Structure 1
């Protein structure tokens, strides 16, 4: 149970969050603010401070902020996209991609396509690409717009055919299985014939057997 109840003023909770002396206090305040947003609708300020907390030095605080933003859902998407483009901090951008991938809204498609396609400079960016690939699966499996689904499948197809990171290809397989259209299945079938990594091969066979 949160240590802070929903009767407390939003501005006061935000002030306390910014002054929190321990990660535990910060996480509890994030949870209180998230609950408050879902009940009273203090949207923009709460989302803004949760995005601010993605830069916190203790990993438990950004993790809680990601979950809060995901819980707030579609209201978080456009502010997160704006924050991603306004930042040059790879750590902050990674948390933003994680939140957007979990929300799975089609407005984030272009950003996730961009992230999957970036040239990897370090291990952290590799992890972010995998998260983004899983976000494409979520978007492609829930979107009503055929062009959105087509775009997600096209990037995941490219990922299977062109990228060297076996874990990224593995993520693409899982996402294509999640999308599960005829085009997605055809991509998986074609990939099985060319995939060299044994772990990815096994995952491809599992995906196809379950579709």
Structure 2
């Protein structure tokens, strides 16, 4: 499978195209990291299963893409990639949409002081979540704690990047800290929230 209809602001490649070579070494490095770290369990994670439960199915279905900006304009790259993502997702059945994943690899972002990347992710997340998408930041110095082990740093990657995928019902723990994110989540999923997730919601909101 080839990456469909690339956006002007980014170059988008499938995992197979990265494997074939003739790409920036950072793309190969990030794909190798995804295939090892993201798909594997960790004793420090605080729960069973792989670090990211969606990566392996996404890779197996050929729905895992890597993107590079065509200029230093990271916000422009995010906007272009989002347009591409929404156009591609609109052509897919629901099960495939849940696995469609794109990593925007950003080797020119300072890995020691990624504050601008963190701020960009926070600013973009509001509109992404409101429209049924998730955007997450990964970088070597990411201090975001794990959900089940606050001493674990699950969002550290060898190269700064942003990950984009569809919002799913199990994303609740990533959204409860911001009321607008929670409202968007509930408006989308409230009638169909599984019992286990309802318990998470109750437990997290009870202290408030």
Shorter-chain TM-score: what band? 0.3 to 0.5
Could you say which structure has the larger radius of gyration?
Answer: 1
If each structure's strand is expressed as a fraction of its own residues, which one has the higher value? 2
Query: Quick check: which one's helix share is greater?
Result: 1
Structure with more contact order per residue of length (Cα contacts < 8 Å, sep ≥ 6): 2
Length-normalised TM-score, structure 1:
0.33
